[in-house]
C-alpha cells in the first residue's frame, strides 16, 4: 500500500505537441504499447488496418485522420503512472492545445526529421515558453531520408530560441538508418525493423570502442562518419544541465522512428529520468503544494457527446493537489456550492473506467450537468483555493449561422451553445437588436467544418454558414462605465454580446480600433476576455 506522497511522486503528466503529420499520435500509441495499455497500435489514418488511432475518438477525426480535440490517456510503466495529454496538431485547433498545456507539467515536442521546425511547432513552442514548461524533443521518422542532424539542432535553437542537448545521436537515415549512439552508455544501439504495431524486435548494443564489431554491423563509412560527428558534438554541443531542462531553457533531444518502433522506449526511459513529479501551482498568489495541501483541481476542457448513446457532457479536471475521493464532497468555487462529483472516470479515448480515487497529477473526467466552465476550480470544502482562469483567444474568423429547418430551433440552440461551452467556438448575438441571429467566431477556419459536422451528426441539425468580413474583436474592458448603446464607431464596426452578456466590438480593419477609441474618450478595449 503506497502512501499519498508515494502515489503523487510517481505521477508524470505531459502533453505531446507537434505540427500535423510529424507522427505524434503514432508515438503516443507506442508509449501505450510499452505500458501494456494496448496490444496493437492502430493505423493512424486507417490504411493498414481498419482500426483508428486509440487517441482519436470523434467521428470526424476517424474520417479525416487528424486529431481535432485533446485526448487524455493513462498508463503504467516501470512503476510510474503516466498521464499523456494528446493534442491536436492542426493550427486551427491551437486554442484546445493551449488549454491542454495548462494542465501539463512538461511537453514532448515531436519533429519530422525531413521537415524540421514547422509553422505550428513555432506557435506551440511559444505557449510552452510563456508557461516556462520543460520541453523534451523527439526527432521522428529516421526510417525516411532526414535532414542533416546538426542542421536540425541548429534550426531548433535558432527558430525556437532554446538550447539543445542530444541524448543520443542517429547513424544515417532512410535505407541507411543503422541505429543511434547513446551518449550516456557510450554504446551504439542498432536498428532492426520491427513488426508494425508490436513492441517485439531485437536491438543490439555495441560499445563505441569496439570498432571491429561496429564496422561489421554498421559498415566502415557509417563508422567513420559517426566518429567525426561525435568529435564535433563533444566540442560544440551544449552541456547537459537538469536544472536548465526543468526551467525550460534546454531541451534534451532523442532520435528514432515511432512507426517502426525504434528509439521510442529509449526516449521514454530518458524522459522519465529527467521529468518531474507534479509541481506546485499558483492560487491567488500562493503556491499550492501537491502533497501537503488538500484536494484541489481545475477544469481545462469540456467535451459534449463523447458517448452519443448517452448524450453526456464531460468536464476534464487536472488534479493539482491531494487525493480525490469519489465518496467525498467537493466545493465548486465559481458556483459557490458544495457537491459530489458525478461519475468520476478515467477516459482512454472513447473507453471509460469509473474511479474511486485519483491523485495530484491525474486527469479525471466528471459528468457535467452544465455547471462547469473552463478554468473553474474545485477543492476540498473549507479550503481556500482558486486557480487563475484560462484566457479566451480572440477569434480571427466569423460567420453568421442559419439553420435550414426552423422547426429545429431548440436542437440548434442547444447544440451550438454546448459546443461553445467546450471552448472550440465562440458565439455572439447582435447587441440589443432582439434578433435571434447567431454569429460564430473561431480561431481557425477548420473549426467551421467541425461545427457543421457535429451539429449534423450529434444534434441532427443542418446549417448554412455565411462568412463575415470581420477580422478583429475587442472586449469592452470598462463595460460598467460606458453606455455601449451610445458608442460611436466606424462604418465597419459591429456591436455584439457574448454568451455571458458581455459587450464586444467587431471590426473589419485594424485601424478602426484606434479610430473608435479616439471617438469615445474613456473607452477601454481588450484583446482577451478576463472572465
| 363 phi, psi to nearest 5 deg | -110, 125
* Confidence at residue 48, expressed as pLDDT on a 0 to 100 scale: 37
Distance between CA atoms of residues 359 and 303, nearest Å? 22
- Bridge-based pairing state of the strands 337-339 and 363-367: unpaired
- Bridge-based pairing state of the strands 330-332 and 377-379: antiparallel
Which region, left, alpha or beta, applies to residue 501 given φ > 0 means left and ψ of -120 to 50 means alpha?
left
H or E segment and range at residue 283: strand 281-283
Q: What value does the mean pLDDT take over residues 314-333? A: 94
Is the confidence at residue 215, as pLDDT, over 90? yes
Give the 3-state secondary structure of 33-60. HHCCCCCCCCCCCCCCCCCCCCCCCCHH
* Confidence at residue 39, expressed as pLDDT on a 0 to 100 scale: 56
Q: What is the pLDDT of residues 252-262, one digit of tens each?
A: 999 999 988 89
Distance between CA atoms of residues 133 and 13, nearest Å? 12
Tell whether the torsion through CA atoms of 348, 42, 107 and 267 is positive or negative.
positive
Q: Are 115 and 312 in contact (CB under 8 A)?
A: no
* Confidence at residue 306, expressed as pLDDT on a 0 to 100 scale: 59
| 439 phi, psi to nearest 5 deg | -110, 135
CB within 8 Å of 215: residues ≥ 6 apart: 223
Ranking 40-44, 235-239, 257-261, 343-347 by mean pLDDT, the lowest is 40-44
Is the confidence at residue 244, as pLDDT, over 90? yes
- Bridge-based pairing state of the strands 351-354 and 357-359: unpaired
* Confidence at residue 517, expressed as pLDDT on a 0 to 100 scale: 95
* Confidence at residue 46, expressed as pLDDT on a 0 to 100 scale: 35
What is the dihedral angle through the alpha carbons of 417, 420, 421, 427, rounded to the nearest 10 degrees?
A: -80
Whole-Å CA distances, 388 to 19, 187, 281, 282: 28, 47, 10, 8
Distance between CA atoms of residues 51 and 521, nearest Å? 60
CB within 8 Å of 115: residues ≥ 6 apart: 19, 22, 147
Is the confidence at residue 305, as pLDDT, over 70? no
* Confidence at residue 470, expressed as pLDDT on a 0 to 100 scale: 93
| 49 phi, psi to nearest 5 deg | -140, 175
* Confidence at residue 237, expressed as pLDDT on a 0 to 100 scale: 66
DSSP code, position 262: B
Ranking 175-189, 268-282, 349-363, 400-414 by mean pLDDT, the lowest is 349-363
Q: Are 99 and 423 in contact (CB under 8 A)?
A: yes
Is the confidence at residue 197, as pLDDT, over 60? no
Distance between CA atoms of residues 492 and 487, nearest Å? 14
* 356-387 burial code (b ≥16 CB/10 A, e <16): eebbbbbbbbbebeeebbbbbbbbbeebebeb
Confidence of residue 307 (pLDDT cuts 50, 70, 90): low
Confidence of residue 328 (pLDDT cuts 50, 70, 90): very high
Residue-range domains of the chain with CATH: 4-175+239-274 (3.40.50.300), 281-379 (2.40.30.10), 397-526 (3.30.70.3280)
Q: What is the pLDDT of residues 16-56, one digit of tens each?
A: 888 778 888 888 888 888 877 665 544 333 333 334 454 44
In percent, the amount of the chain with pLDDT more than 70 equals 84
Is the confidence at residue 480, as pLDDT, over 80? yes
Distance between CA atoms of residues 319 and 31, nearest Å? 22
* Confidence at residue 97, expressed as pLDDT on a 0 to 100 scale: 72
Ranking 77-81, 92-96, 323-327, 470-474 by mean pLDDT, the lowest is 92-96
* Confidence at residue 271, expressed as pLDDT on a 0 to 100 scale: 95
* Confidence at residue 86, expressed as pLDDT on a 0 to 100 scale: 74
* Confidence at residue 418, expressed as pLDDT on a 0 to 100 scale: 81
Q: What value does the mean pLDDT take over residues 466-473? A: 92
CB within 8 Å of 511: residues ≥ 6 apart: none
Tracing cell 461545427 back to the chain, one arrives at 451
Q: What is the pLDDT of residues 493-516, one digit of tens each?
A: 999 998 888 899 999 998 999 999
Q: What is the pLDDT of residues 372-381, one digit of tens each?
A: 888 899 999 9
174 or 390, higher pLDDT: 174
Distance between CA atoms of residues 382 and 148, nearest Å? 58
Is the confidence at residue 311, as pLDDT, over 80? no
Task: Calculate the CA 457 to chain-centre distance.
Answer: 25
Q: What value does the mean pLDDT take over residues 139-148? A: 95
Q: Are 50 and 40 in contact (CB under 8 A)?
A: no
Is the confidence at residue 267, as pLDDT, over 90? yes
Is the confidence at residue 68, as pLDDT, over 80? no
What is the dihedral angle through the alpha carbons of 330, 335, 341, 344, rounded to the nearest 10 degrees?
A: -120
The Cβ of residue 486 has, within 10 Å, a number of other Cβ atoms equal to 7
Tracing cell 468555487 back to the chain, one arrives at 333
Whole-Å CA distances, 492 to 468, 485, 510: 11, 16, 10
Is the confidence at residue 349, as pLDDT, over 80? no
- Residue 334 cell numbers, joined: 465559481
* Confidence at residue 347, expressed as pLDDT on a 0 to 100 scale: 67
Is the confidence at residue 531, as pLDDT, over 70? no
Read out DSSP for 466-526? EEE---EEEEETTTTTS-GGG----TT-EEEE-TT--EEEEESSTHHHHHHHHHSTT--EE
Q: What value does the mean pLDDT take over residues 334-342? A: 92
* Confidence at residue 268, expressed as pLDDT on a 0 to 100 scale: 94
The pLDDT mean for the chain works out to 84
Amino acid at each position: 500500500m503506497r502512501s499519498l506522497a508515494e502515489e503523487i511522486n510517481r505521477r508524470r503528466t505531459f502533453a505531446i505537441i507537434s505540427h500535423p503529420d510529424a507522427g505524434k499520435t503514432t508515438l503516443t500509441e507506442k508509449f501505450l504499447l510499452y505500458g501494456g495499455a494496448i496490444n496493437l497500435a492502430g493505423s493512424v489514418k486507417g490504411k493498414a488496418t481498419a482500426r483508428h488511432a486509440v487517441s482519436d475518438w470523434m467521428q470526424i477525426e476517424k474520417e479525416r485522420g487528424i486529431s481535432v480535440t485533446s485526448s487524455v490517456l493513462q498508463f503504467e510503466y516501470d512503476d510510474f503512472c503516466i498521464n499523456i495529454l494528446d493534442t491536436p496538431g492542426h493550427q486551427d485547433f491551437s486554442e484546445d492545445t493551449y488549454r491542454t498545456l495548462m494542465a501539463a507539467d512538461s511537453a514532448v515536442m515531436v519533429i519530422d526529421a525531413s521537415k524540421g521546425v514547422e509553422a505550428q511547432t513555432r506557435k506551440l513552442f511559444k505557449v510552452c515558453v510563456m508557461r516556462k514548461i520543460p520541453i523534451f524533443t523527439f526527432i521522428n521518422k529516421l526510417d525516411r531520408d532526414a535532414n542533416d542532424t546538426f542542421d536540425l539542432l541548429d534550426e531548433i535553437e535558432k527558430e525556437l530560441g532554446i538550447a539543445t542537448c542530444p541524448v543520443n545521436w542517429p547513424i544515417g537515415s532512410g535505407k541507411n538508418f543503422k541505429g543511434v549512439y547513446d551518449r550516456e552508455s557510450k554504446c551504439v544501439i542498432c536498428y532492426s525493423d520491427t513488426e508494425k504495431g508490436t513492441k517485439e524486435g531485437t536491438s543490439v548494443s555495441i560499445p563505441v570502442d569496439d570498432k571491429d564489431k561496429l564496422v561489421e554491423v554498421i559498415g566502415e563509412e557509417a563508422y567513420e562518419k559517426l566518429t567525426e560527428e561525435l568529435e564535433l558534438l563533444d566540442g560544440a554541443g551544449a552541456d547537459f544541465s537538469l536544472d536548465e531542462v526543468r526551467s525550460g531553457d534546454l531541451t534534451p533531444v532523442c532520435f528514432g522512428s515511432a512507426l517502426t518502433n525504434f528509439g521510442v522506449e529509449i526516449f521514454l526511459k530518458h524522459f522519465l529520468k529527467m521529468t518531474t513529479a507534479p509541481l506546485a501551482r499558483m492560487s491567488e498568489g500562493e503556491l499550492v503544494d501537491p502533497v501537503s495541501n488538500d484536494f484541489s483541481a481545475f477544469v481545462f476542457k469540456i467535451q459534449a457527446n463523447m458517448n452519443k448513446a448517452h448524450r453526456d457532457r464531460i468536464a476534464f479536471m487536472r488534479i493539482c493537489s491531494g487525493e480525490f475521493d469519489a465518496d467525498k464532497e467537493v466545493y465548486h468555487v465559481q458556483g459557490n456550492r458544495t457537491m459530489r462529483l458525478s461519475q468520476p472516470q478515467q477516459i482512454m479515448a472513447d473507453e471509460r473506467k469509473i474511479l474511486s480515487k485519483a491523485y495530484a497529477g491525474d486527469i479525471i473526467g466528471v459528468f457535467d450537468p452544465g455547471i462547469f466552465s473552463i478554468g473553474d476550480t474545485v477543492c476540498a470544502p473549507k479550503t481556500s483555493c482558486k486557480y487563475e482562469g484560462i484566457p479566451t483567444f480572440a477569434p480571427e474568423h466569423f460567420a453568421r449561422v442559419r439553420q435550414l429547418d426552423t422547426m429545429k430551433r431548440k436542437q440548434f440552440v442547444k447544440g451550438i451553445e454546448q459546443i461553445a461551452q467546450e471552448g472550440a467556438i465562440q458565439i455572439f448575438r447582435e447587441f440589443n437588436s432582439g434578433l435571434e441571429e447567431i454569429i460564430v467566431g473561431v480561431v481557425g477556419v477548420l473549426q467551421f467544418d467541425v461545427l457543421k459536422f457535429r451539429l449534423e451528426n450529434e444534434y441532427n441539425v443542418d446549417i448554412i454558414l455565411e462568412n463575415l468580413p470581420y477580422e478583429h474583436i475587442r472586449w469592452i474592458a470598462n463595460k460598467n462605465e460606458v453606455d455601449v448603446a451610445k458608442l460611436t464607431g466606424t462604418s465597419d464596426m459591429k456591436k455584439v454580446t457574448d454568451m455571458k452578456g458581455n459587450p464586444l466590438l467587431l471590426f473589419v480593419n485594424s485601424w478602426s480600433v484606434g479610430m473608435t477609441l479616439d471617438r469615445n474618450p474613456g473607452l477601454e478595449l481588450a484583446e482577451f476576455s478576463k472572465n
